[in-house]
Amino acid sequence: MTDLDFARSQMALSLAFHIVFAAVGIGMPLLMAVAEALYLRTREPVYLDLARRWASGTAILFAVGAVSGTVLSFELGLLWPGFMQYAGGIIGMPFSLEGFAFFTEAIFLGIYLYGWDRIPAVLHWLAGIVVAASGMLSAVFVVMVNAWMNAPTGFEVVDGRVTNVDPIAVMLNPASSGQVVHMLLAAYVATGFVVAGVHAFFLLRDRANAFHRHALGIALGVGALATPLQIASGDVIARMVAQRQPAKLAAMEAHYHTGAAAPLTIGGIPDDAAMTTRYGLHIPWALSLLAWHDPSASVRGLDSIPRDEWPNTRIVHWAFDLMVGAGSAMLAVAGWAGWLWWRWRRVPDERWLLRALVVAGPLGLIAIEAGWVVTEVGRQPWIIYGVMRTAEAVTPMPGLAVPFTTFTGVYMFLSVVLVYLLRRQFIETDPRAVRRVRGGPLDVSRGD
Amino acid sequence: MAIEDRLGAVILAALVLYALSGGADYGGGMWDLLASGPRASRQRAAIEHAIGPIWEANHVWLILVIVVFFTAFPPGFAATMTALHIPMTAVLIGIVLRGSAFVFRRYDARDDAVHRRWSVLFGAASFFTPFALGLCLGALASGEIRVIDGRLSSGFFAGWTRPFAVACGLFALGLFAFLAATYLTVDSESEPDLQEDFRTRALTAGLLLAPLAAVTFLLARNGAPTIFGRLTSRWAPALVGVTSVCAIGALVALWYRRFHWARAAAVGQVACVLVGWGLAQYPYLVIPDLTLTNAATVPSTLHAMQSALAVGAVVLFPAFGYLYYVFKRRQVPPPGDWHRRRQ
């Protein structure tokens, strides 16, 4: 592996690690706020327990998200100084706004987590709303930056120097709206499903447990509502990619030969040398239909792209299929749950549905990881699409294997500890047990 | 004042706020590791109580520094992050381990052995991280990082491997330890024996700070000649005077147990040190090749940035004020205490 490969791997690792916490940091505050709103309305203690329990999980995840996000902001310069020197002044505006949104989120999360007994109930709930809104906003701004890397607009280059930067045009670049909506919905779907999966697991053991039943209702509600919207937003974003980044679309679909009435390839082993995909499932006309909503439309294949501008076809294609597969599975489960819910007029607890929800729990996060692989690896070899190659942006620092190995070790260690801690948070099926954790934000024994 | 100077001032101001809030959190971690005597576990509890609700928000000042830096002065950021790749990576690892250890400890504290393990990691990272940050600031001032024709020409070890940078790192440690212990004397007002513990620690750190400052200053003569020249001329005596008054004032106030005065003086001292460094460094970002002017990005971005900062400040400062109001005021149960009543 070259230093460039190590730099890309370290960035990929850091993003893959951070995105889990970022997504949950967007989704969990919404669930908490819904639970607390239901408590304020119904005064049923189970909702308050729920909000507190979710808050304690969020506290762990948010802290790790905050530090892993810091790592990313440094790594932009540590690994990609060429990119930052060129683009720092262009993408700085959304990054600054993200900084403020994150600031607001951190402040109000502090108030939310530690303020249960210190501020009036409605103010406490409003703090939760601010956390949810600012978490959403930080995602909006960060995704805008990534969208700009896919669709760089809002600046000019005169004599090799960036000039005439229009920060608003940068933020509202053509890829922004599609990517932002797709990411936000992804966060709600993923959080909804992962939380629903956890509570479904406990309901399977103890179906009379009101706590887990109410939890499942809220999480499943959010996840199941967001899933169909997410599929629709995926359709919008795919058409945008077809127009703006034909190489990425061709790699996603392992589509080598430009032509009308293009078939859709599912799975298989793309072979760049032979320009064909072996063992895949080919569905006639479907790609043209998906990309242009016209079964006879022509779709550009990789043959229309210079060979040195191809992304890694196998990774992009397989990641795309994984994302779509996970999304379809969640849609099926959401549809099943929604149907039962509508028919029974109560939170569905059918045994096989609960089992399906447990299995579907991690699918949202898997889809998020796969989706980011599609958009990031699919943009290669560019770091700024059509403007700057990733190889031009990397640091001249040698020996990047060392920090890569170090961060891999640190992240693996953190993952193991996190899984262990979260598992223990949830394994205590008595919702009151969590308050016994010494010094935790829910610890009322400290006499604050 | 040119716009790039104003944005430079914002970076400095954010750095001061980071030192005053996040820096004290590092100091808290150091005292956590050094907790000793019959009240060691109560010392730890007081530290945790002081840091708990606010450390993430405090930490964001550092992110603000980074973001304004790379937005307003992209070539400066690129050069800094390349030249200081190694110590900056060390800072990052320290930040990750420290933040994680702190929050893990909260939720993984079933027995004292486990609690101790996380405490050691948290405390060690609290020493390590500000030391590495000090190395970086010292390197920026050293004049050894050279950027010729937009390319870094001085390699990856320039500046931060020198005695002056090491002195800066140690000075940062001492400063934060002193700041934290002084804050904690105020935070532990309701527990006089604990307050005495922190008073002793604050006095010790404050006294150790004086020789550290002297050594750093003397090493600057060769290690950071530009800064040394500024600090021995023109306006400098006034600032050095104010810093000294604050430092001595803090010690005197600690001695006479005027803890609120001590805290105010310590805040003044830390702010003066950083502002003094900033003024001595002005107009350079990276001495001697990158200045606020030649590293500034296009004017449209600078102006947009300035507006964003103004709007952000309007949102941020009241929110911060509320956070501190809720958690740092005297702790009586508030009137709307509905959660507790329910139980």
Tell me the mean pLDDT in the region B107-126: 76
Cross-chain residue pair A99–B338, CB shorter than 8 Å: no
Q: Is the pLDDT of residue B214 over 50?
A: yes
Residues of B in contact with A435 (CB under 8 A): none
From chain B residues 90-109, the ones with a CB under 8 A of any chain A CB are: 91-93, 95-100, 102-104, 106-109
| A95 Cβ under 8 Å from any chain B Cβ | yes
Chain B, nearest residue to A99 by Cα:
B64
The whole-angstrom separation of Cα B292 and Cα B68 is: 12
- Any residues with CB less than 8 A from the CB of B317 and at least 6 apart, and which? none
Predicted ipTM > 0.95:
no
Amino acid at A349: D
Unique residue bearing structure tokens 């031009």 = A392
The parts of chain A modelled with pLDDT lower than 70 are 425-448
pLDDT grade, residue B110 (50/70/90)? low
Residues of B in contact with A412 (CB under 8 A): none
Three-class SS state of A269: strand
pLDDT value for B111: 62
pLDDT value for B109: 56
Question: Among B75, B109, B152, whose Cβ lies nearest the Cβ of A439?
Answer: B109
Cross-chain residue pair A56–B107, CB shorter than 8 Å: yes
Cross-chain residue pair B319–A66, CB shorter than 8 Å: no
Cross-chain residue pair B104–A68, CB shorter than 8 Å: no
For residues A332 and A281, the answer to whether their CB atoms sit within 8 Å is no
Chain A, nearest residue to B112 by Cα:
A438
Neighbour tally for A436: CB within 10 Å: 13
Among A52, A74, A448, most B C-beta atoms within 10 A, so best to mutate, is A74
Amino acid at A152: P
Buried b (16+ CB within 10 A) or exposed e, A169-187: ebbebbbbbbbbbbbbbbb
- Any residues with CB less than 8 A from the CB of B176 and at least 6 apart, and which? B19, B23, B24, B26, B27, B30, B130
Cross-chain residue pair A107–B319, CB shorter than 8 Å: yes
Cross-chain residue pair B85–A76, CB shorter than 8 Å: no
Neighbour tally for A12: CB within 10 Å: 14
Cross-chain residue pair A45–B342, CB shorter than 8 Å: yes
The whole-angstrom separation of Cα A100 and Cα B318 is: 13
Chain A, nearest residue to B82 by Cα:
A78
Phi first, then psi, for residue A282 (nearest 5°) are -105, 125
| B156 Cβ under 8 Å from any chain A Cβ | yes
Smallest CA–CA distance, residue B45 to chain A, in Å, is 8
Q: Can you spell out the DSSP letters for B77-141?
A: HHHHHHHTHHHHHHHHHHHHHHHHHHHHHHHS-SSHHHHHHHHHHHHHHHHHHHHHHHHHHHHHH
Record the tokens describing residue A35, joined without a space: 């639970």
pLDDT grade, residue B329 (50/70/90)? low
| A109 Cβ under 8 Å from any chain B Cβ | yes
DSSP H helical segments within A245-312, as ranges? 246-252, 286-292
Q: Mean pLDDT across chain B, nearest whole number?
A: 83
Cross-chain residue pair B300–A164, CB shorter than 8 Å: yes
pLDDT grade, residue B341 (50/70/90)? very low
Chain B, nearest residue to A394 by Cα:
B82
- What are the respective helix, strand and coil percentages of chain B, to the nearest 5? 80, 5, 20
pLDDT value for A432: 45
Smallest CA–CA distance, residue A415 to chain B, in Å, is 11
| A437 Cβ under 8 Å from any chain B Cβ | yes
Q: Is the pTM of this model over 0.90?
A: no
A138 has which bridge partners? none
Smallest CA–CA distance, residue B172 to chain A, in Å, is 20
pLDDT, greater one: A162 or B332? A162
Cross-chain residue pair A104–B319, CB shorter than 8 Å: yes
Among B7, B21, B47, B63, most A C-beta atoms within 10 A, so best to mutate, is B63
Cross-chain residue pair A421–B108, CB shorter than 8 Å: yes
Smallest CA–CA distance, residue A333 to chain B, in Å, is 33
**Top mean-pLDDT range of A19-33, B34-48, B326-340:** A19-33
Nearest to B43 by CA among B31, B27, B30, B53: B31
Whether residue B283 has a cis bond before it, omega within 30° of 0 = yes
Cross-chain residue pair A66–B326, CB shorter than 8 Å: no
CA distances (Å), B212 to each of A60, A306, B165, B167, in order? 37, 61, 12, 7
Chain B, nearest residue to A403 by Cα:
B89
Q: Is the pLDDT of residue B107 over 80?
A: no
Cross-chain residue pair B85–A78, CB shorter than 8 Å: yes
| A116 Cβ under 8 Å from any chain B Cβ | yes
By CB neighbour count within 10 A (0-12 exposed, 13-18 middle, 19+ buried), where does B314 fall? exposed
The whole-angstrom separation of Cα A183 and Cα A145 is: 13
Cross-chain residue pair B327–A110, CB shorter than 8 Å: yes
pLDDT value for A29: 92
pLDDT, greater one: A169 or B235? A169
Cross-chain residue pair A67–B109, CB shorter than 8 Å: no
Question: Among B56, B71, B96, whose Cβ lies nearest the Cβ of A88?
Answer: B71
Cross-chain residue pair B312–A103, CB shorter than 8 Å: yes
Q: Are strands A382-384 and A264-266 parallel, antiparallel or unpaired?
A: unpaired
Residues of B in contact with A75 (CB under 8 A): 92
CA distances (Å), B303 to each of B73, B300, B313, in order? 13, 5, 15
From chain A residues 389-428, the ones with a CB under 8 A of any chain B CB are: 395-397, 403, 406-407, 410, 414, 417, 421, 424-425
Nearest to A131 by CA among A154, A159, A103, A153: A103
Radius of gyration of chain A measured on its C-alpha atoms? 23
Among B71, B98, B152, B190, most A C-beta atoms within 10 A, so best to mutate, is B71
Question: How many inter-chain contacts (A to B, CB under 8 Å) are there?
Answer: 249
B108 has which bridge partners? none
pLDDT value for A431: 46
Residues of A in contact with B304 (CB under 8 A): 93, 165, 167
The domain ranges of chain B are 3-325
| A6 Cβ under 8 Å from any chain B Cβ | no
Residue positions counted in chain B = 343
Nearest to B60 by CA among A110, A218, A267: A110
| B307 Cβ under 8 Å from any chain A Cβ | no
pLDDT digit string, tens, across residues B54-104: 677 777 888 888 888 888 898 888 888 888 989 999 998 888 888 888 877
CA dihedral in degrees (B130, B131, B137, B142; nearest 10)?
A: 170
B148 has which bridge partners? B151
| B304 Cβ under 8 Å from any chain A Cβ | yes
| B207 Cβ under 8 Å from any chain A Cβ | no
